[in-house]
Structures are given as structure tokens and as C-alpha cells.
Structure 1
Amino acid sequence: MSLTPDLKGSSFTLSVLHLSDNKVEQAIQFLRQKVEQAPTFFARAPVVINVSKVEGDLAFDQLRHGLEHVDMIPVGVTGCKDKRTENLAADAGFAIMSASRTASQAPAKMAPTKVVKTPVRSGQQIYAKDADLVILSHVSEGAEVIADGSIHIHGTLRGRAIAGANGNTGAVILCNKLQAELMSISGHYWLTEQFDQQCWQQKVMLSYQDDSLHLESLSI
């Protein structure tokens, strides 16, 4: 076995901030609110900036410092329309990224489903790497369940459920009773206030369809 370093391609789920204009302070305020709503989910989160809709120059230095100030990690910039924008971003310390470079990454081979028979308590985190996750009891407020595949919760979901953590947009989350703090699929998330009230405290399934999250009640 070689003991020398190696450099290989891989894929990770990153949060992407899509900017619609060059108002940096407004974007930072938006992120600050998100971190306050779900600090465990967003704290030290790596972030990529999509600038494809931005017209005019962007204050990349200010943007980078703002991200660091709200305890997020600025990774790179995607969607640059010209070389000037790329140079401005690079000078501020951002990597220049292209979405097409990771689009052809093959999904990881799935492992056997991870089954948890006991309640997931507040402060506890369960992670099913390269697998689906089945919780046969409840997920308490302040608890977090994560899977690279889908998540099935037979009890009440009061904490956070994060499916498709490896970028699998085909993953789903099912729970017997929705009272969640946060639900996420492949980096796309909804907080409590974003859930349809008709689905609240109901048996539901969250999926990702047509570039957006979709929540449906499964109650009869």
C-alpha cells in the first residue's frame, strides 16, 4: 500500500446561494436569518455562490467576509458570465467552479438499510452512509437523522431529517407524523414555517421533483 498522498475526484453536497442581484448586504442578512433558524444545520456549512443572474460587478471580498461572519465557509463561485467576473472572484479567494464537472459523477454503491429501533433523542445524530435509514420510533426535537439514501420514520419527526446527503435527488423522506424543524433532500431544505399546514401532524412524504421540494400527505 502506497503511503504517498493521492488526489482523486469525488462529490459532496454543498449549499448553493443563488444571487439575483449584487446587493451583498441583503444576501448576508438572508443567510444570517437562516443560520439563526437552524444553527446546527448551517453552522460551518460550505457554500457555493451562483452568480449567473447577477448584473454588474459583485463585491466578492465583502461577500466572503460576510459568509465568514455568519459562520459559513465560502468555497467557490459558479455561473460566471465572463473572465472579468472570474478574476474578481478568484482575487477574493473563491474557487471558480463549473457544475458540469460533477454532473457525471457515478452514485455510490448503496449499503444495506440501517434500522434504528429506539427513539432518537435530542442532541443525538444518526447517519446512514450510502444507505437508506429506517427509524422505528420517534425523532425528538433537537435530534438529527441523515442518510445518503431515503429516510423512513415510523413515529413522529420533531427534529431534522436530511436525505440524499450525498447528492441523491431521488431520495425521499417519509414520516408518520410531521412536526419537523427541518427536512432536506440533496441540500434543498424546508424549515418549519415552510411546510403546508394541511400536512402538519400528518403522515407525509417529501420528495424532490422538477427542481423543487414537494410535500404530500399520505393520510387516508
Structure 2
Amino acid sequence: MPDTSPSLPKIRIRGRSFLALVLSPEGSLSDWLSSLDQQLKSSSFFFLGKPVIVNLELLSGNEEGLDELHTALTQRNIQVICVEGGSSTWDALQNWPKTFIFGNGKHIDNLDMPANPLPSNAPTPCLIVDEPVRSGQSILFPEGDVIITNSVASGAEIVAGGSIHVYGALRGRAIAGISGQPKARIFAYQLEAELMAIDGFYMTAEEVDDHLSMKAAQVYLDHDVMTVTPLIKIK
């Protein structure tokens, strides 16, 4: 008799890359958490929806409060997906969720050099996006600049290895210089970003002067300080 059993669905497996933030606790964990709380006061949504890796390489495993650190981070809406730099044999980590993976990820600013590097005068790669970037969308281009010829909606995210150029309203999050480029900049025809970051330094909308909000502006690092200045109009 012919086999009449229903066919089983095909299992589809795809790889996916994403940007994860890394937290490296150090010293007195109570002091470190207090410092974290101070930063969260000015940017309470910085970790919202972001995967976070906890790097324990600065700890010995015997710190007071280490056994409750994962709970303290969860209470602050920090979603830990991985632990690295420590050991799963540490007594203080035995009550941490077993779903945590102890491993070592690759830092985005330590990418391997290509076998045939580009000459020094080669143009920087760029990604050009003509469509509006809608809420919930995320654009990641660690190889170079991202150019948006449209607007970026609130809730969207642009992540670039180099600079970010938006020839429209920039809302949402703009994260530039993730490939270790402190000279990267963020340019916007209309600056309304909820959060901006360059080479690991960040600022929120509340930190932008009112006279620069919703104006044509650029953001850059000046001695490790996020700085916003108006764009000079070309006549």
C-alpha cells in the first residue's frame, strides 16, 4: 500500500549576525551597580531590546554579590544572553540561569585583516539606502559608512562601522564607528535621534541642546565627549 502519512515540514536553519553590547563588571560590584544606575538615569532605554554579554575577565570569582549579579541586571531590564571571561565552575555562578552560554565572542573592533588588504587610498565602502527606515528595522554595516537618502523612524536603528549620513529626519538610534573609528560622525538633515553613539561613547536626546534639536546637525567626538554642532548650509 502507498504511504499516505503526511510529509513532515523541512527544517530551515539560517545564520544571523547582530550587535551585542558588552558589560564588564569590576571592583566592588555594589559600587559598579551604583555607577550603572547613574548612567541609566540619563538613558534608561539604552539597553532596551539589546542583547548583552557579561564579560567577567576583570573579576576573580570571589567578589561579594557576584551570585546575585544576574538578578540585579535583570531587574534593570538588561537582557544577558552570554557570559564570557569567567568560569562555569565558579561557586558564585552556580545559581545563574543554565541557559547562559559561557564562551568568547569576537569584538567587532578586532576583525581579522583581509588576506589582500585594500590600498591606503582606496575609498571607504558605503551602504546607500534610498527607502525610509521604518520603526523596528535595523541596518548593520560594520564595513563602512551608511548613507540614508530618506528618513529614519523612531524605533529604528542604524549601526555603521564608519559615519552615518541621513538626508532626512533622524529618529531612533544611530550608532557609528563600531569598527573602532573614533573620527566617525553622524550627520542629519533633521536631528531627532533618541540615542547616538560613536566608538562606544553615547548620548541621548535629552542631552542635545534645544536649539540644535530638529535642526541640521552633526555629531562627533571631541576628546571623548559627544559633541553636537549645526551643519553649515551651502549657498
TM-score, normalisation: structure 1: 0.66
Of 133, 157, 170, which residue of structure 2 is paired with 1:157? 170
1:211 aligns to what?
224
Name structure 1 gaps, 5 residues minimum.
1-11, 78-85
Higher normalized helix content (fraction of residues): 1
Question: Deviations for 1:108-164, whole angstroms, at most 9, x for unmatched residues?
Answer: 768621111121111122222302111111111111111111111111101111111
Q: Distance in 2 between matches of 1:67 and 1:163?
A: 26
Q: How does 1:1-220 map to 2 (within 5 A)?
A: 14-16=21-23, 22-23=29-30, 26-27=34-35, 29-30=37-38, 36-40=44-48, 43-48=50-55, 58-69=64-75, 70=77, 71-73=79-81, 75=83, 92=92, 112-219=125-232
**% of aligned pairs identical?**
28
CA contact (8 A) 2:20 2:50 kept: no
Query: How far did residue 194 of structure 1 move?
Result: 1.6
Cα 1:112–1:26, aligned 2, differ >3 Å: closer, same or farther? closer
Is the alpha carbon distance of 1:172 and 1:130 closer, same or farther for their aligned partners in structure 2, counting shifts above 3 Å?
same
| Letter matched to residue 73 of structure 2 | L
Amino acid at match of 2:187: L
Q: Which moved more, 1:108-117 or 1:205-214?
A: 108-117
Structure 1: which 4+ aligned runs deviate by more than 6 Å? 49-52, 101-110
Q: Unpaired runs of 5+ in structure 2? A: 1-18, 94-101, 118-122
The separation in 1 between residues aligned to 2:51 and 2:180, in whole angstroms, is: 19
The aligned length equals: 193
Q: Which has the higher contact order (CA 8 A, sep 6+)?
A: 1
